[in-house]
Structure 1
Amino acid sequence: MESHHASCSLVLCGKSSVETEIAKRLKNNNNSLKLPDNTKVSLFLESEAKHVVKDDDGDSFDLSLFMNSILTHQFGRFLIWSPRLSSTHDVVSHNFSELPVGSVCVTDVQLKGRGRTKNVWESPKGCLMYSFTLEMEDGRVVPLVQYVVSLAVTEAVNHVCDKKGFPYIDVKIKWPNDLYLNGLKVGGILCTSTYRSKKFHVSVGVGLNVDNEQPTTCLNAALKDMSPASNLLKREEILGAFFHQFEKFFDLFMDQGFKSLEELYYRTWLHRV
């Protein structure tokens, strides 16, 4: 049953020469990145991405488009992409110490997505699925990170819509970690952490229905309903905007506490569905 995904290909991509050198180091050390269940990992640099089998319909994640949209100092600047993966969360959590803080893993199809209460599911193409890393020292505020992430997702969608002249898509946060649109769930957030060397190693996982209308609905379905002539939202642009918003919100959160974000958070809060 497991043999068809007992191996996976990971493409390593960096925003600058610093991250590119990290990618080369990891590539040269064949056993540098590991996955659970003895999954065999094959590593490729961005320049070798053509060797990784992509979908014939051209729906693979566009590495260049994402990297060109990144304007951050830390988050999202080191990217790991796979066309098909058991779990992006496994990649970042199992290799936390090998990766620069702020690294992100993205996949086109996820076979064993994870949620609260150990829920597992398969995520289809068209869904933006990613996990990234961060470090924190104060364990008391670690549980609040999921709220910062949720807020950054909703604001990223708003930002991309504004930038492209699209109608406003009213994504709401359903406490504690779900995202809703027009009464239907379109996304969720999962945060896990371990404590090592006096720091909390936090792995953040996000799933957002961008262009997959099943099993519920997606952002582009809502966009087409409001404006049939609109171009569609792209996963790469939303992810780039997310890291821009998250880095800004996370800095505020660490400097001034969650109170600095409360007003904005409650404006996006869904009280009932």
Structure 2
Amino acid sequence: MRPFKEYQYCRQNEEGPQYEMEFESPTTLVLCGKSSAENGLAKVLKTSNTLKLPDDAPINVVLHSENEKLESFQNDAFKIDSYMNSLSTSRIGKFLIYSPKLASTHDVVSHNFCELPIGTVCIADVQLKGRGRSKNVWESPKGCLMFSFTIQMEDGRVVPLVQYVACLAMTEAINDVCIRNGIPPLNVRIKWPNDLYLDGLKVGGILCTSTYRSKKFNISAGIGLNVSNEKPTTCLNAAIQRLTSNAYQLQQEDIVTAFFNKFENFYNIFINQGFQALEELYYKTWLHSGQRVIVQEKNENQDQISEHVVTIQGITTSGYLLAVSEDGQECELHPDGNSFDFFKGLVRRKLV
């Protein structure tokens, strides 16, 4: 399977036994903190055997300081020291769980949410069972940047907007890394609600899930980005090669660091001022302003469907698409089911 190609995983299909064999050996989780306090927590988590994987899959927890005792990682493994030295956030991304290969970074942070500090990030070089929309599965090889992190919110009305903040932070982070290294900014764009596109091809996606506990929403945000894996579509470094003769290649550590530095800033603005404070920058980055689409609308009895042409204007306060019909009536567009192209399954709901 190639990155960003979704498929339905079934234990009865011919791939089932192969998948089970992948996890007979323990999954290695390397723990590292930015500060002494976080490294102290890493020691506690290791000693207490606190971290778990779904289905109690076996794990091998080690500290980053003990890496020399492990078999050396490959040269193209995620560089933890480089990441930590460049990170300047106050909270997000400061506690790291790294794995050369695991099933899902999202499962690691969501399954251990209450045991980990808010802002924990899990990064993997290879991911075998990443989450997609519905029950779709992402399989991602070397060259994909895959990571998940945690945040916590109290206002459930704005939880759906977090994915837009993450999308914006990633597009801005990529541009920042390019400019800092003398590379023309890549025109990575946001395709609503949570995909990243480059030159008309998908290069990344973002998925946020949440649970409600003790009057707070525990959110796990997962991000996948094609950095160096050109097939089956394209990747960021392939685009750089087309734009310039510069031999520079984007490094995953630089992108993740720039992302968290951007995201923490945008997230604070979002919490304190609302998404409206980020809308102007967001709309410059997304693909849809003024886009005309055909949407469906059911009658009151839900037994007949009519189609209408509407023009997308922006995002509503609830996180759906705001559009205007040909007769000037504002409406809210909701996706109907799971589809790679949300604009083939939009349902119109009139705004009062």
TM-score w.r.t. length of structure 1: 0.96
- Name the counterpart of 2:287: 270
- Name the counterpart of 1:11: 30
Alignment of 1:50-89 (within 5 A): 50-53=68-71, 56=74, 58-89=75-106
Aligned partner of residue 82 in structure 1, secondary structure: strand
- Name the counterpart of 2:42: 23
Question: How many Å separate the matches in 2 of 1:199 and 1:164?
Answer: 40
Q: Aligned-pair RMSD on alpha carbons?
A: 1.3
Superimposed CA distance per residue, residues 215-266 of structure 1 (whole angstroms, 9 cap, x where no aligned partner): 2110000001111323111000000000000000000000000000000000
- Name the counterpart of 1:241: 258
| Between 225-234 and 8-17, the greater mean CA deviation after superposition | 225-234
Give the structure with higher Rg (CA).
Answer: 2
Aligned partner of residue 141 in structure 1, secondary structure: helix
Question: How many Å separate the matches in 2 of 1:130 and 1:51?
Answer: 25
Deviation of 1:124 (Å):
1.1
Q: Which amino acid letter does the alignment assign opposite residue 215 of structure 1?
A: P
- Which residue, 120, 130, 137 being the options, matches 1:113? 130
Structure 1 residue ranges without an equivalent (≥5): none
Structure 2 residue ranges without an equivalent (≥5): 1-16, 292-340, 342-352
Q: Which amino acid letter does the alignment assign opposite residue 37 of structure 1?
A: D
Deviation of 1:157 (Å):
0.3
Question: How many Å separate the matches in 2 of 1:21 and 1:167?
Answer: 41
Dislocated runs of 4+, deviation >6 Å: none
Compare relative contact order (CA 8 Å, sep 6+) and give the higher one, 1 or 2: 1
- Name the counterpart of 1:48: 66
- Which residue, 173, 177, 199 being the options, matches 2:194? 177
Question: How many Å separate the matches in 2 of 1:230 and 1:241?
Answer: 21
Deviation of 1:167 (Å):
1.3
Q: Which amino acid letter does the alignment assign opposite residue 95 of structure 1?
A: N
Question: How many Å separate the matches in 2 of 1:60 and 1:115?
Answer: 24
- Name the counterpart of 1:227: 244
Question: How many Å separate the matches in 2 of 1:162 and 1:77?
Answer: 25
Deviation of 1:203 (Å):
0.2
Alignment of 1:121-160 (within 5 A): 121-160=138-177
In structure 2, relative to structure 1, the CA distance for the partners of 1:80 and 1:263 (3 Å cut) is same
Judge conservation of contact 1:9–1:52 (CA < 8 Å) in 2: no
Deviation of 1:51 (Å):
4.2
Question: How many Å separate the matches in 2 of 1:118 and 1:52?
Answer: 35
Q: Which amino acid letter does the alignment assign opposite residue 12 of structure 1?
A: L
TM-score w.r.t. length of structure 2: 0.75
Superimposed CA distance per residue, residues 155-204 of structure 1 (whole angstroms, 9 cap, x where no aligned partner): 00011111111111110000000000000000000000000111100000
Deviation of 1:3 (Å):
2.8
- Name the counterpart of 2:208: 191
Deviation of 1:55 (Å):
5.2
Question: How many Å separate the matches in 2 of 1:228 and 1:111?
Answer: 34
Deviation of 1:37 (Å):
2.0
Superimposed CA distance per residue, residues 22-77 of structure 1 (whole angstroms, 9 cap, x where no aligned partner): 111101112x0001122111100001224444554x11000001101100000000
- Name the counterpart of 2:51: 33
Aligned residues: 271
Q: Which amino acid letter does the alignment assign opposite residue 85 of structure 2?
A: N
Aligned partner of residue 56 in structure 2, secondary structure: coil
- Which residue, 273, 282, 286 being the options, matches 1:256? 273
Question: How many Å separate the matches in 2 of 1:215 and 1:44?
Answer: 34
Question: How many Å separate the matches in 2 of 1:214 and 1:48?
Answer: 35
Aligned partner of residue 67 in structure 1, secondary structure: helix
Aligned partner of residue 269 in structure 2, secondary structure: helix
